[in-house]
């Protein structure tokens, strides 16, 4: 008996030891690429862990909290600095904040991004395919901060416009336009700052893999939603770590005000300001999460305005959504639907009881294809309802655009 106890004890020690060994983070920390210039923290390691540090000598507690809720308490050192690391995170971009004695604040080490209804911290986990959005020595397009006056909202509205590298050099040339929308709790800055849409396009163009086109990013949530500061209660903000979009679909959103801004004000302003190809065959719309829902609702109601459609983590288009299939087949040249794998994995879905709404996106997209519509379905490996899924979606989507 005594021997057995001893063995059990030894096994327990060994198992503890092994646990400690396997839980020890790899000691190859580097400052995150999403940090402010010169800031050493937060750091990331080769396992995708995040290590935060902040000097707060009088604090009682400091916690690193991801948007979506995962919390990691930091530990105070003798130097008055709190430090701690997280479990391995998915590749790509995650919103987070520090909570110091109950106050949720941005990490002074990170750059700031608009998401979750606030400007706040984000951290970049290196990804296998980060070359896709790396800053390279290739011709660069421009991201333009623009104000335009909207009669519908009777206000100056702000948007961001990407023009391809050739735009300023060859002033005789005209370009197609993609209207590209952010998610709930985000704004018109998201696709540039978090999404690196400009770098994705610059790199694709340098490799000759896409046609050049203009991208217009508007604050489509700004009609009364997230632009007021906080995401609507009960719904999941875009980019929440390890979460999926709230069920319900477009019924819980009203996009008619934004539809009017887009159709009556923004498109005419863009077509009169930029050298666009101002017709339906050369106009696309896409968006992520809520922006995908907007895209579905607005394109289906305006087949004479858009010919190419992209819905990223925002549902899909079922045959039953299409009123006039013949008209749709004639006018729509591309339907692209995508999700992060963690959103559509039934095992992951069963954890939360949530998944893509409006039916199985793959089956819906396959049905469109069977009906003769140029349709594509893409799943981003090992990512959730977050920006890495959407960067990859744009990277897959862009080469398919304006091919007809």
10 Å CB burial of residue 6 (0-12, 13-18, 19+) is exposed
Range in contact with a copy of itself (rule: CB under 8 A) among 95-103, 203-211, 247-255, 310-318: 95-103
54 near a copy of itself, rule: CB under 8 A = yes
Q: Supply the minimum distance, in Å, between the C-beta of residue 129 and a copy of itself.
A: 20
| Alpha helix stretches (DSSP H) within 162-289 | 190-193, 197-206, 256-260, 267-273
Q: How many CB atoms lie within 10 A of CB 214?
A: 23
Beta carbon nearer to a copy of itself, 148 or 382:
148
Q: Residues 37, 208, 251, 353: which binds a copy of itself (CB under 8 A)?
A: 37
Could you give the C-alpha distances from 63 to 71, 78, 89, 93, 170, in angstroms and in order?
6, 18, 16, 19, 52
Buried b (16+ CB within 10 A) or exposed e, 58-96: eeeebbbbbbbebebebebeeeebbbbbbebbbbbbbbb
List, in sequence order, every residue forming a beta bridge with 175; answer none if it has no partner: 276
For residue 307, the 8-state DSSP code is S
Q: If DSSP codes are grouped into helix, strand and coil, which group holds residue 92?
A: strand
Site for a copy of itself in 197-216 (CB under 8 A): 198
Joined tokens for residue 364: 């819906």
The closest alpha carbon to 53, from 98, 83, 97, 86, belongs to 83
Site for a copy of itself in 273-302 (CB under 8 A): 273-275
Q: Residues 20, 57, 233, 304: which binds a copy of itself (CB under 8 A)?
A: 57
Q: Residues 61, 152, 341, 396: which binds a copy of itself (CB under 8 A)?
A: 61
111 near a copy of itself, rule: CB under 8 A = yes
Q: Residues 49, 94, 118, 385: which binds a copy of itself (CB under 8 A)?
A: 118
Q: If DSSP codes are grouped into helix, strand and coil, which group holds residue 131?
A: helix
Q: Supply the minimum distance, in Å, between the C-beta of residue 159 and a copy of itself.
A: 11
- ∠ CA(188), CA(193), CA(195), 5° rounding? 90
Mask for 228-267, x = binds a copy of itself (CB under 8 A): xxx-------------------------------------
Q: Supply the minimum distance, in Å, between the C-beta of residue 52 and a copy of itself.
A: 12
Q: Supply the minimum distance, in Å, between the C-beta of residue 402 and a copy of itself.
A: 21
269 near a copy of itself, rule: CB under 8 A = no
Range in contact with a copy of itself (rule: CB under 8 A) among 93-101, 205-213, 308-316, 387-395: 93-101
Strand extents, DSSP E, 131-282 = 142-150, 155-163, 177-181, 214-218
Site for a copy of itself in 150-189 (CB under 8 A): 156, 161, 168-169, 171, 187
Beta carbon nearer to a copy of itself, 216 or 400:
216
Q: If DSSP codes are grouped into helix, strand and coil, which group holds residue 177?
A: strand
Strand 118-125 to strand 112-115: parallel, antiparallel, or no bridges (unpaired)? antiparallel
**Rounded to whole angstroms, how far apart are CA atoms 212 and 204?**
9
**Rounded to whole angstroms, how far apart are CA atoms 110 and 295?**
32
**Rounded to whole angstroms, how far apart are CA atoms 289 and 287?**
7
Q: Supply the minimum distance, in Å, between the C-beta of residue 293 and a copy of itself.
A: 21
Q: Residues 130, 148, 249, 300: which binds a copy of itself (CB under 8 A)?
A: 148
Beta carbon nearer to a copy of itself, 112 or 382:
112
Range in contact with a copy of itself (rule: CB under 8 A) among 17-25, 92-100, 318-326, 336-344: 92-100
13 near a copy of itself, rule: CB under 8 A = no
Beta carbon nearer to a copy of itself, 179 or 274:
274
Q: How many residues bind a copy of itself (CB under 8 A)?
A: 58
38 near a copy of itself, rule: CB under 8 A = yes
Compute the Cα dihedral for 50, 352, 228, 147 and give only its sign.
positive
Q: Residues in the site for a copy of itself, rule: CB under 8 A?
A: 36-39, 54-62, 80, 97-98, 100-108, 111-112, 117-120, 135-137, 140, 142-149, 156, 161, 168-169, 171, 187, 192, 198, 227-230, 273-275
């Amino acid at each position: 008996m005594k021997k057995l106890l001893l063995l059990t004890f030894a096994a327990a020690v060994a198992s503890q030891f092994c646990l400690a060994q396997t839980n020890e983070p790899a000691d190859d920390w580097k400052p995150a690429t999403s940090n402010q210039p010169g800031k050493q923290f937060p750091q990331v390691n080769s396992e995708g862990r995040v290590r935060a540090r902040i000097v707060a000598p009088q604090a009682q507690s400091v916690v690193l909290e991801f948007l979506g809720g995962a919390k990691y308490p930091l530990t105070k050192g003798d130097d008055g600095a709190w430090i701690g690391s997280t479990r391995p995170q998915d590749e790509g971009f995650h919103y987070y904040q520090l909570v110091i004695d109950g106050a949720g604040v941005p990490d002074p080490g990170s750059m700031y991004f608009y998401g979750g209804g606030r400007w706040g911290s984000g951290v970049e986990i290196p990804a296998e395919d980060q070359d896709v959005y790396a800053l390279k020595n290739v011709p660069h397009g421009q991201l333009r901060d623009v104000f335009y006056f909207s009669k519908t909202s009777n206000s100056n509205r702000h948007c961001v416009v990407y023009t391809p590298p050739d735009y300023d050099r060859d002033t005789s040339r005209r370009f197609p336009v993609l209207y590209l929308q952010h998610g709930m709790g985000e704004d018109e800055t998201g696709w540039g700052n978090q999404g690196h849409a400009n770098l994705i396009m610059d790199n694709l163009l340098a490799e000759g893999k896409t046609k050049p086109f203009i991208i217009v990013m508007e604050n489509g949530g700004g009609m009364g939603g997230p632009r007021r500061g906080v995401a609507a209660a009960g719904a999941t903000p875009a980019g929440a770590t390890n979460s999926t979009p709230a069920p319900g679909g477009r019924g819980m959103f009203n996009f008619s005000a934004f539809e009017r801004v887009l159709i009556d004000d923004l498109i005419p302003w863009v077509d009169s300001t930029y050298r666009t190809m101002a017709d339906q065959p050369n106009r696309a719309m896409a968006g992520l999460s809520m922006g995908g829902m907007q895209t579905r609702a607005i394109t289906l109601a305006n087949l004479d305005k858009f010919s190419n459609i992209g819905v990223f983590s925002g549902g899909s288009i079922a045959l039953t959504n299409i009123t006039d299939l013949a008209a749709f087949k004639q006018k729509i040249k591309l339907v692209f639907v995508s999700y992060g794998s963690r959103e559509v994995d039934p095992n992951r879905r069963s954890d939360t009881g949530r998944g893509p709404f409006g039916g199985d996106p793959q089956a819906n997209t396959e049905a469109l294809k069977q009906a003769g519509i140029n349709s594509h379905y893409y799943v981003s490996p090992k990512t959730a309802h977050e920006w890495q899924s959407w960067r990859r979606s744009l990277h897959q989507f862009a080469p398919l655009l304006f091919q007809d």
